[in-house]
Amino acid sequence: MMMYRRLFQLFWGLGLYGFSMALMLRANLGLDPWDVLHQGIAPRLALSFGMTVNLVGAIVLLLWWPLRQRPGIGTVTNIIVIGMAVDLSLMLLPVPEGYMMRATWLAAGIVLNGIAGGAYIGAGLGPGPRDGLMTGFCRRSGWPVKWVRTGIEISVLAIGWLLGGTVGVGTILYAMSIGWIVHHALPWFRIDASARAAIA
């Protein structure tokens, strides 16, 4: 029964993560750092945004090796589900009209993204490739999630911008706030040993 609960939390967390990404894309006020990277890569490879998300996830998984991270069901599922969820959400979501509506979608996207991250990590079935970098580095370094996550986001942002990704006010807000949101969201969900070590 507990495994079903964990799987349910994993899938709704991943689905919500993809939906939150689509909200930020539709708001068009600046993408989160990883999506700036995805946007910079996608046209170069002639892939959909979601497919690019999946591809980058698979590549980032290779960076786990020096951190001695072990992938789980959640890791593999992350690589597949988030890209599908964001492409489907982009098909269903309309383009918001007016600056206030766009700003609302942006704010909702950032908050939901942090909550979704806490949910699927908290399922204890293995973090996603990108979050594996965060939890692995936190465990190895002893640094808290809020600082490690923020450092990763800012680094990815710089690479994405150099590749031609779009940077805006939403990008800055995301980079400076997501670490804190995830840090406070994780305790609300059932978390595994690695996540507990990361937020200790």
Return per-residue pLDDT of the chain as tens, 200 residues: 678 888 999 999 999 999 999 999 999 999 988 999 999 999 999 999 999 999 999 998 888 887 877 888 988 999 999 999 999 999 999 999 999 999 999 999 999 999 998 898 888 888 788 878 888 888 888 888 878 878 888 889 899 999 998 899 999 898 788 888 988 888 888 655 444 444 43
- Token pair listed for 109: 């996207």
Question: Which pLDDT score is estimated for 195?
Answer: 46
Q: What is the pTM of this model?
A: 0.83
Task: Give the type of residue at 137.
Answer: F
